[in-house]
Amino acid sequence: MKLVVRGISLFGFLLLCTNAAYACTCLQTSHRKEFRHADAVFVGRVIEIAEDKSYVPPKLKSTVPASFQKLLDSQRRYLVRLKVQQKFKGDGGKEITLSTYQSDSPCLAMSFSLGETYLVYAHRDEDSSLESGLCSRTRKFDESSKDYNEAKSFWFRFRSRLSLLS
């Protein structure tokens, strides 16, 4: 009987300690690690957003549930052109175009707004174009943010690159 009471108590305790599960969760990494793995980090103002009409969503293997393919088929790719105001990492000129995706899933993309300024962390995709997704550190630009102030720091950028060696 004691064992049953302990088991029920333990189960109740574990039930109270669990976190809610969210459909759109991203693995949290440190700013230094995100900076290190990004192919480009910059502050830029959105000057154009256009849907890429040539984009065709990839087809999944037949072993994947049809609902996933349906969600993928609803996906659209947008090309976001930004005027670079300050560059911390990466190559490119005074303007950078990156891709972002939107679909029926609320978990797919970072939304950009025309005329807004962003601190962008972009990664290269399979065809070497830059993209920024929901789980990147890309955010609306805030001059007082910790991320921006660290990215401005020569020593932060230097130590981030040194971490590649370890």
pLDDT 10s digits, 24-74: 667 778 898 899 989 999 999 999 999 988 888 777 777 777 776 776 677
Could you tell me where the DSSP H helices lie in the chain?
2-17, 31-37, 66-73, 146-152, 154-162
Report DSSP state, residue 93.
Answer: -
Residue 162 CA to residue 155 CA, distance in Å, equals 10
Residues 70 and 153 sit within 8 Å (Cβ to Cβ):
no
pLDDT digit string, tens, across residues 1-29 = 554 444 444 444 444 444 444 456 677 78
Helix (H, G, I), strand (E, B) or coil at 63: coil
Tell the CATH topology of 39-141. Answer: OB fold (Dihydrolipoamide Acetyltransferase, E2P) (2.40.50)
Angle at 27 between CA 22 and CA 30, to 5 degrees: 140
